[in-house]
Structure 1
């Protein structure tokens, strides 16, 4: 199976496109040792969001590493942040500019197309299918795209990133009432917050978020320093995670309440 999926009973779908760590043998054979480290993975998010089962939310999480193909990039590989540096559909380097492929082994156009069909399409087919199912049952649905990233990545932003970074494509991917309700649950605590700052939402948020159709999408990019060790071996910090899970639960509940779950 190219992903893990559990159908829920409420109109809330949580997508985790960057948690995958598997790399097919034929792809790995062309890669450098930097790829084996998989440092740019959204580590431990399934564990961090483990309470979703109790809520009755649907959960879709990736199997394959973002180094194989990035599920949160458009299939035509357009830059989601024009004028800013970013990694592509089939990344050729890490967030720290370490090459992922040995010389002469970067994927060509045919290989990119193959990976789109083999690894990208199954995830998005399941995502669309579940959104359609929930929409048919409930009339509207919230799509929550869950991400995490190292708190300091000079390639993409200066200094330390805020702890919780919400993206709604500058308000286009969901109703203002939903994002306001979610962000309100995050405020007043120990975590710094940004809304449509450096991260405005990737392809999944922008493409599937159709408020007029009843699909409301929001992305949360969390600093990994809020729940884990950011250096290898990237250990889960249960003490930190327990603290951030409190506002995270509250935010997810706000989304469920807003959508009428």
Structure 2
């Protein structure tokens, strides 16, 4: 059943010296697909990749050069989604009884996007048949929990050293995303759980700097942040968490999942953004004491 080797689940990219109170996290950029998983899927090897955050680890990896660690998943989101509660599980997917503490009634489970997803993008069913309950619980124990343990340690280390920590949760979104009622296609979405996971000043700073580069940027709609942003963001304790979604149409051909010629330019612009963002966010002029709005 187990197709991952030790050390293959995720990587921690460390700077030569951590100079910033930032931690970068890319939980959905994994592209190592277990053989048994692919064989038991009704999707081909292209379709099953539709829910990946393609190349997000590369685009946001500039944070390491600037002096912050980055945690990157190697397992795919379609296999186990660490941006969910640990036991958001759909009982209709499994043979056997789920533990009583499983959250079987969440909106995400109903939509097929629980901790063990039922679908990838565009409502494409992943599995040919039900899975054993033990399979789901094994993925949670052997992938989900070690991943969050690693993330928790990075955040705690950063908070201890700098007396605050700013988590940047890095994601991508489909190119066909439009704001309801407006038809606007955002280039970026800044998610702070409606002002509860990070200082409002931090969110406004991110919006302003991206807009200054000519990007279309919105806040919290339609993505306000998932479990990671909600769980680790505690502004009153100096723990801030921002989710940043980049539109895939900016940098990949979504029909082929290959990089566009513009990829290098977008990466350069993101680096400039993070240079300015980390500098201003850590300056004495930036007041991160505002816990919520």
Instruction: Please confirm whether the aligned pair reaches a TM-score higher than 0.5, indicating the same fold.
Output: yes
The structure whose Rg is larger is: 2
Go from structure 1 to structure 2 and tell me whether the alpha carbon gap of 1:36 and 1:229 turns closer, same or farther (over 3 Å shift).
closer
Could you tell me which residue of structure 2 aligns to residue 216 of structure 1?
240
1:95 to 121, 132, 152: 121
How is 1:63-212 mapped onto 2 (pairs within 5 angstroms)? 63-77=74-88, 85=111, 87-102=113-128, 104=129, 106-152=130-176, 161-212=185-236
Secondary structure (helix, strand or coil) at the match of 1:15 reads strand
Structure-2 change in CA distance of 1:31 and 1:84 (3 Å): closer
**Does the residue aligned with 1:60 lie in a helix, a strand or coil?**
strand
Query: How many angstroms apart in 2 are the aligned matches of 1:209 and 1:126?
Result: 16
Match of 1:56 in 2: 67
| 8 Å contact kept, 1:149–1:222 | yes
- 2:253 counterpart of 1:242: no
C-alpha change, 1:81 and 1:172, in structure 2 (3 Å) is farther
What SS does the aligned partner of 2:207 have?
helix
Q: Deviations over 1:89-125 (max 9, x none)?
A: 11111211222111x2x33433221110111111111
Structure 1 gap segments, 5+ residues each: none
Aligned to 2:287: none
> Aligned partners of 2:70, 2:279: CA distance in 1, in Å?
14
Match of residue 288 from structure 2: none
Give 1:21-36 correspondences, 5 Å limit. 21-34=31-44
Partner Cα distance (1:183, 1:138) in 2: 24
Give the secondary-structure state (helix, strand or coil) at the position aligned to 1:201: coil
- The structure-2 alpha-carbon separation of the partners of 1:83 and 1:28, relative to structure 1 and needing over 3 Å to count, comes to closer
- Structure 2 residue corresponding to 1:43, chosen from 54, 76, 82: 54
Aligned to 2:10: 3
Give the superposition deviation at 1:217.
0.3
1:25 to partner: Cα distance: 2.6
Cα deviations by residue, 1:131-172 (Å, 9 ceiling, x for unpaired): 011111110011000001211269x97866411011000000
Q: What is the CA–CA distance in structure 1 between the aligned matches of 2:45 and 2:198, rounded to whole Å?
A: 35
Higher RCO (CA 8 Å, separation ≥ 6 residues): 1
TM-score, structure 2 normalization: 0.79
